[in-house]
Amino acid sequence: MASRTICFTIQVTLVVAFLTTKVVLSDDTVPIPANKAQLGEWYNTNVGPLDQRKSTVDPALVTAEEGAKVVKVMQDGSGEYKTITDAIKSIPSGNTKRVIIYIGAGNYNEKIKIEKTKPFVTLYGVPEKMPNLTFGGTAQQYGTVDSATLIVESDYFVAANIMISNTAPRPDPKTPGGQAVALRISGDKAAFYNCKMYGFQDTICDDRNRHFFKDCLIQSTMDYIFGSGKSLYVSTELRTLGDMGLLL
């Protein structure tokens, strides 16, 4: 990324920065170090709770966070919904308040899309029992970018403690259309914390706009991340599957 400018927004903690090869400035003029080894210290020092940063961020986001509500998705029926898709459908078009979708443990075999008209959505799982959002779509079936298990087109999206996997078979180099995306993120100002993305090829479509990934895992055999997004990946592991590697 020698000459390319990378932009990102840290969701909820609300820091906007522009990363260049020398120095980056956040919206409150705190410099981000060019030395990546110092990035963790910068993050811990300068990223704080919302109530400490309200004057520096988008007023619409402040309003959204102050009116946040939680809905639960539980496969055993103990929540408001049994599927993530149904929970997303319940969010009104033009949503202006943070909706935190708390997802219980389990495998959710769903192809999920959060449309552009539904900003301020959070998908949240418990770290010790991370839910797995999984589907087996391929480029041959849907086209590459639309093969994703999770497609996010809306702004101000957050995911925390979530697994996202595409379980389509490992692509055969001799057969076209085997690419299978786990995540496509297209909306602006999105953040992913402690999330694990699994696939064999084209695992993340970092499609466009600004995104922030911290403490994540991205597993693949090739083309781990592709797209035109302007994103920052901090303490994030790229894991390569061997010839006999299994998806999970």
Catalytic residues: 223
- Measuring CA to CA, how many Å separate 12 from each of 116, 131, 168, 192? 19, 21, 33, 11
Residue 146 half-sphere exposure toward CB, CA atoms < 13 A = 5
d(CA 163, CA 169): 18
φ/ψ of 230, rounded to 5, equals -110, 95
Q: Which long-range contacts (CB under 8 A, 24 or more apart) does 84-93 make?
A: 84/108, 84/110, 84/112, 84/123, 84/133, 85/110, 85/112, 88/112, 88/113, 88/114, 88/118, 88/121, 91/118, 91/121, 92/118, 93/117, 93/118
- Count how many Cα atoms sit within 13 Å of the Cα of residue 109 in the half-sphere of its side chain: 3
Quick one: how far is CA 93 from the chain centroid?
21
